[in-house]
Amino acid sequence: MNGPHIFRDFDNAIRTLKDEVLLMASLTRQNLERAMRSLLDRDIELSRVVIGDDSDVDDLEIRVDQTGMEILVRHHPVASDLRLVISSMKISTCLERISDHAVNIAKRSKKICRGPELPDVALVEPLYVMADNLLRDAMISFTDQNVALAEGLKARDKELDRLHKTLIASLSERLEHPEGKSESLLHLIFVIRSLERVGDLAVNIGEDAVFLGSAQDIRHATKKASKASESDGSE
Amino acid sequence: MIAFCDGIVTIGQSCGVMVHAMVIPAPLRPMTAMAPMTDSVIQTPATTAVAVEDVDFCYGSSRVLKNVNLAIEANKVTAFIGPSGCGKSTLLRCLNRMNDEIPGARITKGRICLRGEDIYGLRVDVVKLRSEVGMVFQKSNVFPRSIFENVAYGLQVRGERNAAVIRQRVEEALRQSALWDEVKDRLHESGLSLSGGQQQRLCIARAIAVKPNVVLMDEPCSALDPIATLKVEELLWELRSSYTFIVVTHSMQQASRISDRTAFFYMGEVVEYDLTSKMFTNPREKRTEEYISGRFG
C-alpha cells in the first residue's frame, strides 16, 4: 500500500475514484440480486425497480471516467497510481455491462412472471450464485490487490460455463415438450446467457485487478500460449 | 581570427569550468572511426557509450556518490532523476571531468569508461575528452557574438580554416537543432537577440557542431516555457540516433516523454536503472515508486 502523497488533493482524487468504483460495484451486485429475486419470487414490481435503478450505474460509469480523466490531466499519475486509474475506468465499463445484464434479466423476469408458473427458474439459482461469487471475488481482488484471487477467477468461470452448457441443454430438451411454456423457457435461456456473460465480465475485472496488482497483462493469455506452442511445434 | 579567439577565451574564463566542456572542440571524425584518447582501451559492449563502474565520489570528506554502476546506451536518451542533492548532477559532471576543477572533489573508487576507455586514466587528454562529451546547461550561455560565430566557434578553435567547411557545418548544426529556418536570414545578428528557447537550441547547435559522442544536459528546459521545452525535447528525440544524450531533469513528465532509460538516484546511490516505460509503469523498487508518484522527496 502506498503512503500519503505530498500533494494531498491527489490522495483525495484517488479516494474519490475508488469510492465511485466500489459504489458502482455495490449497486451492480444489488441490481443483479434483485433481478434474480424478481425472477425466483415472481415479483414484477422488483423487476421494475431494477430497470429504473440502472441509470444510477450508468451515471456512475460517467463519473468514474470523468474522475479518472481529471486525475490523468491534473496529476499525471505513474506506476501503481496510473494502473489504478486505468483499471478503475475499465472495471467501471464491465460493471455497467453487468448492470445491463441485470436489466435484461429483470425484463425477461417480467415476461416470465406474466406467463404460467415455471418451476424451471429454480435451475438458474446455482448459476447466479456462481456468477455473483465471481463478481464479489473480482471486486475483492481489485480492492485488496489480491493477484492470486484474481488469477483463480478464470478457472472458476470455466465451471460456470460448464453449468451454463448443462442448463442450456436441459432447457432445449424441455422446449421439445413445452407444455405451453415455450416463450417462458426461451426467456429463461436468455437469463442463463446473461448470467454466463456476468461470469465473463467478472473475469475481465479480475484481469484488470491483476494488472493493477502486478502490472501483468494476462488478457488472452491462453490464446497467446497456444499460439506460442503451435509455433514451437512447427519449428 | 586571433581577436575572435581571444574574445572567446575571455568569455570562457568568465564562465569558469563550464567553458571547457562547451567550447573545446573535438576533431571532426565519424564516431565509428574515433581514435582512443589513450591506448588503454577496455572492452565494453558495443552498445554502451559510457560505463560507470563501482564509482564513489567525494567532495572533501563527504561521500556523495556511492558504488554507482550504470551502462549508458549509445544513441539513446538516458534521464537522471532524483531529489536535489542525490548526486545526479555530480555524476553528470564526472562524465566529462568537470568536477576536476573543484578543490577536494575526486573519484575515490571505481572508473568511468567512454567507449571502453577509462576517462580518469593518467594519460587521458582532458581537453579532448571534454570535446567528445559536450554539455548543455540549465541556463543558456550564448556568447555575446553573432549566431554564426556561436556555432562556428568550436570548429575554428579546433583549427578548421576552410570557410566553406565551417559554413556547411554551421548550417548542418543549426538545421539539426531545428533553428535554421528561424535564423538563416540573420546569422550575423547577436546570439543574445534570440528568445530563451532559441538560445538554448543555439547552445545545442554549438555543442553538436563539433560532433561529440555524448551530450550531457543539466536541466536543459527548466528555464524555458512549455512550447520552447517541447521544441528542445523534439530536438533530442530527433538527434538521438546520432548522439548519446544524458539528461538531468526534475520533471518526471519530461523524463517519461524523452528518455529511453531512466536512472533514479537517491542519497548518492542509483536505486533503480531501467527502461523508462518500465520505470514509470511498474518500478521494481518501492523507493522509486514513492518518488516518481510524489510520495517522498
The ipTM value here is 0.80
- What are the Cα distances from residue B102, in Å, to A185, B65, B105, B136? 88, 15, 6, 19
- A77 lies in some domain: yes
- What are the Cα distances from residue B74, in Å, to B112, B139, B264? 15, 26, 19
Burial of B99 (0-12, 13-18, 19+ CB in 10 A): buried
Query: In this complex, is the C-beta atom of A2 within 8 Å of any C-beta atom belonging to chain B?
Result: yes
CB contacts of B83 in chain A (<8 Å) are: none
Smallest CA–CA distance from B286 into chain A, residue: A2
CB contacts of A80 in chain B (<8 Å) are: 282, 289, 293
B90 and B254 in contact (C-beta within 8 Å)?
A: no
The pLDDT of residue B46 is: 64
- Is the predicted pLDDT of residue A225 greater than 80, yes or no? no
| Phi (first) and psi of residue A3, to 5 degrees | -75, 180
Considering only the beta carbons, identify the residue of B293, B296, B297 that sits closest to A78: B293
What's the structural domain count of chain A? 1
The set of cell numbers assigned to A51 is 430497470
- Is the predicted pLDDT of residue A95 greater than 70, yes or no? yes
Smallest CA–CA distance from A77 into chain B, residue: B293
Residue B282 to residue A3, Cβ atoms within 8 A:
no
* Rounded Cα gap, residues B30 and B243, in angstroms: 11
The pLDDT of residue B130 is: 87
Instruction: Tell me the per-residue pLDDT of A42-89, one tens digit each, with 9 for 90 and over.
Output: 999 999 999 999 999 999 999 999 999 999 999 999 999 999 999 999
- CA angle (B95 as vertex; B91, B101 as ends), nearest 5: 85
Q: Where are the alpha helices (DSSP H) in chain A?
A: 8-40, 44-75, 79-114, 125-143, 147-151, 153-175, 182-214, 221-234
- A144 lies in some domain: yes
Q: B265 has which bridge partners?
A: B270
A121 and A35 in contact (C-beta within 8 Å)?
A: no
Instruction: Classify residue B164 by its DSSP letter.
Output: H
Most B CBs within 10 A among A12, A76, A78, A216, hence the mutation to make, goes to: A78
- A220 lies in some domain: yes
Total residues found in chain A within this entry = 235
Query: In this complex, is the C-beta atom of A213 within 8 Å of any C-beta atom belonging to chain B?
Result: no
- All structural domains of chain B: 2-34+59-292 (3.40.50.300)
The pLDDT of residue B16 is: 31
- What are the Cα distances from residue A127, in Å, to A137, A154, A204, B257? 15, 15, 18, 48
Burial of B59 (0-12, 13-18, 19+ CB in 10 A): middle
The number of CA neighbours under 13 Å toward the Cβ of A50 is: 30
Q: Which domain holds residue A217?
A: 8-228
| Phi (first) and psi of residue B140, to 5 degrees | -60, 135
Smallest CA–CA distance from A5 into chain B, residue: B295
* Rounded Cα gap, residues A24 and A11, in angstroms: 20
* Rounded Cα gap, residues B36 and B40, in angstroms: 8
Q: What is the pTM of this model?
A: 0.82
- A39 lies in some domain: yes
Non-local CB neighbours of A211 within 8 Å, separated by 6+ positions: A83, A86, A87, A217, A218
- A233 lies in some domain: no
- A3 lies in some domain: no
CATH number at residue A166: 1.20.58.220
Residue B293 to residue A77, Cβ atoms within 8 A:
yes
B272 and B288 in contact (C-beta within 8 Å)?
A: yes
A3 and A81 in contact (C-beta within 8 Å)?
A: no
* Rounded Cα gap, residues B215 and B239, in angstroms: 10
pLDDT tens series, chain B, 297 aa: 333 333 333 333 333 333 333 433 333 333 333 445 554 455 555 699 999 999 999 999 999 999 999 999 999 999 999 999 999 999 999 999 999 989 999 999 999 999 889 999 999 999 889 889 999 999 989 999 999 999 999 888 878 899 999 999 999 999 999 999 999 999 999 999 999 999 999 999 999 999 999 999 999 999 889 998 998 999 999 999 999 999 999 999 999 999 999 999 999 999 999 999 999 999 999 999 999 999 976
The pLDDT of residue B267 is: 97
Instruction: Classify residue B41 by its DSSP letter.
Output: B
- A2 lies in some domain: no
Is residue B214 classed as helix, strand or coil in its secondary structure?
A: strand
Q: Within a 10 A sphere around the Cβ of A52, how many other Cβ atoms?
A: 12
- A215 lies in some domain: yes
Q: How large is the average pLDDT for residues A82-107?
A: 98
The pLDDT of residue A181 is: 87
- Is the predicted pLDDT of residue A14 greater than 70, yes or no? yes
Considering only the beta carbons, identify the residue of B253, B289, B296 that sits closest to A79: B289
The set of cell numbers assigned to A138 is 473480482
Range among A177-181, A222-226, B204-208 with highest mean pLDDT value = B204-208
Instruction: Classify residue B34 by its DSSP letter.
Output: P
- What are the Cα distances from residue B159, in Å, to A9, B144, B215? 58, 21, 22
Residue B281 to residue A2, Cβ atoms within 8 A:
no
CB contacts of B289 in chain A (<8 Å) are: 2, 79-80
- What are the Cα distances from residue B193, in Å, to A17, A46, B120, B232? 49, 76, 39, 18
